[in-house]
Amino acid sequence: MGVPFFTTVREYAARKNEFDSAVGAVMERGDFILGKEVAEFEQEAASWLGVKYAVGLASGSDALVLAADILGFSAGAEVLTPTFTFFASASCVARLGGKPVFIDMDEETLAMDTAKAAERVTERTKGIIPVHLFQQTTPMQAVLDMAKKHGLSVLEDAAEAWGMENRVDGCWRRAGTMGDIGIFSFFPTKTIGAYGDAGLAVTDDEELHRKLKSYRVHGSLAKYQHDYIGYNSRLDTIQAAVLRVKLRSIEAAIAARARHAAHYNARLEGAPGIRIPKVAADNKPVFYVYNILIDDRDGLSAYLKEKGIGCTIYYPKPLHLQACFSCLGYKEGDFPVAESVSRRILALPIFPELSDDEVDEVCDRILAFSRKR
Ligand X SMILES: Cc1ncc(COP(=O)(O)O)c(C=O)c1O
CA distances from 239 to 36, 59, 244 (A): 12, 11, 9
Contact 227, 4 (CB under 8 A): no
The answer to whether 86 contacts ligand X (rule: CB under 6 A) is yes
Cβ at position 215, least distance to ligand X in Å: 16
Options 138, 185, 233, 237; binder of ligand X; rule CB under 6 A: 185
Among 157, 180, 339, 361, the residue binding ligand X under the rule CB under 6 A is 157
Q: Catalytic pick from 99, 190, 211, 246?
A: 190
> What does the alpha-carbon distance between residue 228 and residue 218 come to, in Å, rounded to a whole number?
7
Q: What backbone phi and psi angles, to 5 degrees, belong to 24?
A: -60, -35
CB 225 within 8 A of CB 85: no
One-character DSSP codes across 105-159: B-TTT-SB-HHHHHHT--TTEEEE--B--TTS---HHHHHHHHHHHT-EEEEE-T
Q: What is the DSSP letter of 322?
A: S
- Residues 107-146 binding ligand X (CB under 6 A) are 131
Report the candidate in 58, 51, 44, 90 with the shortest Cα–Cα distance to residue 215. 58
| Among 41, 102, 187, 330, contact with ligand X (rule: CB under 6 A) | 187
Going by their DSSP bridges, the two strands 171-174 and 165-168 should be labelled as antiparallel
How many CB atoms lie under 10 A from the CB of residue 317? 16
Give me the least distance between CB of 198 and ligand X, in Å please: 7
Give the nearest distance from C-beta 288 to ligand X in angstroms.
8
Tell me if 176 contacts ligand X by CB under 6 A: no
Q: Which of 163, 199, 230, 318 binds ligand X (CB under 6 A)?
A: 199
Asked if 342 is part of the footprint of ligand X (rule: CB under 6 A), the reply reads: no
Out of 45, 88, 253, 311, the residue judged to bind ligand X by CB under 6 A: 88
Nearer to ligand X, 61 or 214 (CB): 61
Question: Is residue 190 annotated as a catalytic residue, yes or no?
Answer: yes
Looking at the Cβ atoms of 137 and 214, the one nearer to ligand X is 137
* CA neighbor of 66 nearest in space, from 164, 167, 201, 193: 201
Q: Which is nearer to ligand X, 158 or 268 (CB)?
A: 158
Q: Are 42 and 36 in contact (CB under 8 A)?
A: no
Looking at beta carbons only, is 78 or 197 nearer to ligand X? Answer: 197
The only residue of 159, 300, 309, 311 in contact with ligand X, by rule CB under 6 A: 159
> Closer CB to ligand X, residue 302 or residue 324?
324
Compare residues 67 and 354 and give the one whose CB is closer to ligand X.
67
Binding segment for ligand X (CB under 6 A), chosen from 16-24, 135-143, 157-165, 248-256, is 157-165
Residues with Cβ within 8 Å of residue 255, at least 6 apart in sequence: none
Cβ closest to ligand X, residue 85 vs residue 109: 85
- For residue 131, CA distances in Å to 23, 211, 291, 345, 354 come to 32, 22, 16, 17, 27
Which member of 37, 104, 113, 160 binds ligand X (CB under 6 A)?
160
| 3-state class (DSSP) for residue 217 | strand
Q: Are 33 and 237 in contact (CB under 8 A)?
A: yes
Residue ranges in 25-84 that form contacts with ligand X under rule CB under 6 A: 59-61
- Looking at 96-104, 153-161, 222-230, 340-348, which segment touches ligand X (CB under 6 A)? 153-161
Question: Which residues are part of the catalytic machinery?
Answer: 190
Residues that bind ligand X (CB under 6 A): 59-61, 85-86, 88-89, 131, 157, 159-160, 185, 187, 197, 199
